């Protein structure tokens, strides 16, 4: 999620939840469908996607939804003792490079799902090909912000879908890495 201010969180949760709006169901559905879809299907290998997140993002997922099903869950942290339900995590690592190394032949695609520091590492990494982003036009208090997109990503994103829920307008966008010729 992203607001004009690039806000993505407030007090450890999604900003609209803290504001009493509840969940943006279409955004949750888009997140689920996008991170679950396996594009590279090989008949003899069962593939799944991998999600990389920081400890605070993991801890903010309601317990009943941990682990994110049918995806390899990787958490980056230096404070393992603060990780809730660590046995549900496929790998706990201390760096973004170690998180990428946790992928193996059974991983189809890798998605970074937060927080701000992990997004920052991913945006600067040469292996990052694209950024799925939900642009929200409402304004909520935020204390966590998405980093500015580096110029290497398209300035004109592909609009994947849009909608409105409870007076909150949103668009699902895809920014792609621009490769030099």
Please report the pLDDT score of residue 3 as a whole number. 47
Confidence grade of residue 103 (pLDDT, cut at 50, 70, 90):
very high
Domain limits of the chain?
Answer: 7-176
Per-residue pLDDT tens digits for 126-148: 999 999 999 988 888 889 999 99
Quote the CA–CA distance of 141 and 160 in Å, as a whole number.
Answer: 26
Residues 6+ apart with CB under 8 A from 43: none
Kindly tell me if the per-residue pLDDT of 91 is higher than 60: yes
Domain 7-176 fold is Dihydrofolate Reductase, subunit A (3.40.430)
Half-sphere exposure of residue 28, counting CA atoms within 13 Å on the CB side? 11
DSSP 11: T
């Amino acid at each position: 999620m992203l607001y004009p201010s690039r806000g993505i969180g407030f007090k450890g949760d999604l900003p609209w939840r803290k504001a009493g709006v509840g969940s943006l169901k279409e955004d949750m559905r888009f997140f689920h469908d996008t991170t679950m879809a396996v594009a590279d299907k090989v008949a003899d290998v069962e593939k799944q996607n991998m999600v990389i997140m920081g400890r605070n993002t993991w801890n903010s997922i309601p317990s009943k939804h941990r682990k994110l099903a049918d995806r390899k869950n990787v958490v980056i942290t230096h404070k393992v003792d603060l990780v809730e339900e660590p046995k549900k995590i496929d790998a706990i690592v201390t760096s973004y490079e170690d998180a990428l190394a946790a992928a193996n032949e059974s991983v189809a695609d890798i998605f970074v799902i937060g927080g701000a520091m992990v997004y920052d590492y991913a945006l600067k990494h040469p292996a990052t090909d694209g950024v799925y982003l939900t642009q929200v036009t409402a304004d909520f208090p935020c204390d966590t912000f998405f980093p500015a997109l580096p110029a290497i990503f398209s300035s004109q994103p592909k609009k994947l879908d849009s909608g409105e829920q409870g007076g909150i307008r949103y668009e699902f966008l895809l920014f792609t890495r621009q490769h030099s010729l």
